[in-house]
Chain A
Amino acid sequence: MTLTAHRPQTAPASPSSSALLTPTLVLQDVSKTYGDGDGTITALHPATLVVQPGELVAVNGPSGSGKSTFLSIAGALLRPTTGQVRIAGQDLTALSDAGLPAFRLKNLGFVLQSSNLIPYLNVREQLTLVPHLAGEDGRDARQQAEELLQLLGLSERARHFPDALSGGQRQRVAIARALMNDPQLILADEPTASLDSVRGREVVELLAQQVHAHGKAAVMVTHDERVLDLCDRVVSIVDGQLRE
C-alpha cells in the first residue's frame, strides 16, 4: 500500500499498546451550554475523552442527548464553553477563528450523514477538491485520488456524479474524500443512516480498516447497534452526560 508512505511509523496493532504514543484527540472536561441567563441549556456536561491513534470510537445515545454537539467540538467546528481540546498535539483554544478552517483542512476528515458530496463534481473531483482547497493541486494529488478510488473499489465510478451513485457508494466516496488530506482524526456523523444493514456494515468496516491500517483515530456517532462490534470502544451520551 503506497498510502503508508505518508507516515512511516505504522500504527499499533491494538489500542492497548498505543498508550505510549501521543493521543490524537484529547477532550479535557469539555462542556457546552447554549444560551445565557435563565434560558441556558446544557447540551454537554463536562466530559473527558482520549482517543489514541488506531482507535475507532463509537458514540451513541438517544436523540437530543448531545452527540452532534460532542462531535462538533471534537471536529473543531464548535468551541466548548469550558474545557480544553487537543488534536494531534495542537491546543484548539490557541487557534483563532480564522485559523480553524485551515486546521480542519489539514488535520481532519469528515464523513457526514447526508448532503455529503458536492452535486456538480464527479467522484474524482470530490477527492481532488480537498488538496485544491489547500492550494496543493498537482500530480501527487491526482495520483493519491486514483489510489484511494482503487482502494475503495470506486475506480469505475471516477467520472460519475453523486446522483448516479448508490447510497453506499456515496458514503465510500465520502470516506475516500475524508482520507485525501491524510488526516490524523476522522469524524463521522451517522455515516450509515441512509444505508441498509449490509451496506452500512461495509462502510463501517472500511472506516475501521483505514483507521487500523494507518494509525488514524476516528470518532463515529451512530445509532446503529449492528456496527458497534467493529468499533474499538463505545461511549454513550445520555442527557449530555458522557459514559464509557
Chain B
Amino acid sequence: MFLALRELQHYRFRSVLIGGIVALIAFMVFMLTGLTRGLAQDSAALMINTPASHFVTTRDAAGVFNRSFLSPGEVKAITAVGGDASTPLTQSFASFSGGTEATQLSGVLLGVDPSGFMAPEITSGQGLAAGVSGAVVDHSLQEDGVKVGDTLTLKPGGETLKVLGFTGAARLNHQPVVFVTLDRWQALNPRTRGSVSAVALKTDAAVTSQISALGGLSVLTRAEALQVLPGYKEEQGSLTMIQVFLVVVAAFVMAVFFYVLTLQKTPQFGLLKAIGASTRTLAGSLVAQMLFLTVLAVAIAALVTLGIVTLLPAGIPFALTLPTLLSASALLIVVAALSSLLSLRTVAKVDPLIAIGTVT
C-alpha cells in the first residue's frame, strides 16, 4: 500500500491522466445506463411499473397487445380461473386535440376495469369509477398544457373525453396512456365487437398453467411481454450493446495501461525482489494501486453524473437510481481488478537476478 500510494503521488500527472480516462469511461457508462433506463421508462413505464405478473393474449398475437383480440367468451373463461387476480385491459391508439396548444396529440387509449388492479393510481384530480365517461391521463401530457377538467377531442370522430385526473409513469409505445373504463373504450371502438387485447394476471405459476391449459392463449410473464413490445427489445438491445462494449473497452484500456507500466518497472520489481519483497507484496501493491485509482475515478464520475442529471433538459428521457449507479460502479471496479491479472503474471515472473545482471 505504501509503495502503491507513493508511486501514484510521485507521478501525479500520470496518475491523473489514467484516472481521468477511467473517470470518463465510467461517466459514459453511467450516462448511457441512465439513458437506457430513461428510454425504457419512456417506452413502457406502464409495463415496467405494473402490479401485474403475467399477461394473457391470443396465441397468434404472442403477447403483442395490438395484435390480440380476446373474445368475451375467452375473457370469461380466463377470469373464471383467475378471479380477482385477473383483470381485462384493452388497447388502441388515439389521436386527439386538447391542452393549450393547437397541435394534435396522440396516446394509447387503454380500457381498464376501474375496480381491477390495472386501474390507474392518480397523482392529482379524480380516479376512474364505473360508468364515468372521462379519462385519467399520464402526467407527461401536462407538458402539452393538458389540465384537469380539460376536454380532449378524439380525431376523426369528434368524441370527447373529460380529463378527470393524472397518473404517474403510464407510458406505452413511447406515448402517454389515456385510461378510460372498459365500457367507454368499447363505445369508442365499436369495430372490436366487445373483444379486449389482454387479461392481466397477478398470480403464480399454478394459476397461469391452468389458464394456458384453456388453449388458444399465450401467457407471458411481465418481463416477456416487455420484450415483445414493439421496438422495446431493439432499442434496449442496441443501448445495452454499447454499454457492454464500453465496459470491455474500459477493461482493455486499464489492463494495457497497467501492463505497459508494469513492463517498464521490471528492473524495479527485480530490485525489490532481490531485497526480499515477496511476489505477494508486490502483487498486492499493484492491485491496491489499480483499485485506488479506479474507485476514486468512478466516485468522481458518479458525482459528476449526479450533477449533470440535474442540468439535463426535461425532454430527455433519463432515469438513474442510486442502486443502479452503485451496481454499475461495482461492475467497473470488478472489471478493473480483473484487468490487473495480466500485470500480476508479469510481476510473478520477474526474476530477482536481473537486479544483479546475470539475466536481462
Query: Hey, which bits of chain A sit against chain B, CB under 8 A?
Result: 68-69, 71-72, 75, 77-78, 98, 101-106, 108, 110, 112-113, 115-116, 118-121, 125, 129-130, 132-134, 161, 177, 189
B1-19 interface (Cβ within 8 A of A) = 2-3, 6-7, 9-11
B97 to nearest A CB, angstroms?
71
Q: Are the C-beta atoms of A112 and B10 separated by less than 8 Å? A: no
CA distance A103 to B278 in the complex (A): 11
Taking the nearest CB of chain A, how far is it from the CB of B273, in angstroms?
A: 6
Q: Inside 8 A of B278's CB, which chain A residues have their CB? A: 98, 101-102
Q: How far is the CB of A170 from chain B (nearest CB, A)?
A: 13
In the complex the two chains form, is B281's CB within 8 Å of A133's CB? yes
Contacts of A161 in B (CB 8 A): 10
User: Which residue from chain B places its CB closest to the CB of A134 in the assembled complex?
Assistant: B276
**Chain B residue at minimum C-beta to C-beta distance from A32:** B358
B160: Cβ under 8 A from any A Cβ: no
- CB of B275 closer than 8 Å to a CB of A: yes
Given contacts A68-B357, A118-B268, contact A101 B277 (CB under 8 A): yes
| Contact between chains at A112 and B271 (CB < 8 Å) | yes
Check B275 against A105 for contact (C-beta < 8 Å): yes
- Given the interface pairs A77-B356, A110-B355, A125-B6, the reply to whether A133 lies near B271 with Cβ below 8 Å is no
Are B275 and A110 within 8 A (Cβ)?
yes
Considering the complex of A and B, which 10 residue pairs feature the smallest CB-CB distances, nearest first? A105-B276, A120-B10, A104-B276, A68-B358, A115-B267, A120-B7, A101-B276, A101-B278, A133-B277, A189-B356
CA distance A113 to B6 in the complex (A): 24
- Report yes or no: B10 in contact with A78, Cβ–Cβ below 8 A: no
Nearest CB in chain B: distance from A106 CB, A: 7
- Closest B residue by C-beta to A107: B276
Cα separation A133 to B353 with both chains bound (whole Å): 19
Interface of B is mostly: helix
What's the tally of chain B residues with a CB closer than 8 Å to chain A?
24
Tell me the nearest residue of chain B to A125, going by C-beta: B6
| Most chain A beta-carbon contacts within 10 A, residue among B2, B272, B275 | B275
A101, chain B: closest CB distance, angstroms: 5
Which chain A residues lie closer than 8 Å to B357 at the CB level? 68, 113, 189
Q: Is the CB of B273 within 8 A of A101?
A: yes
Give the residues in chain A near B267, CB-CB below 8 Å: 115
A104-B274 in contact (CB<8A): yes
Q: Restricting to B267-321, which residues have a CB under 8 Å from any CB of A?
A: 267-268, 271-278, 281
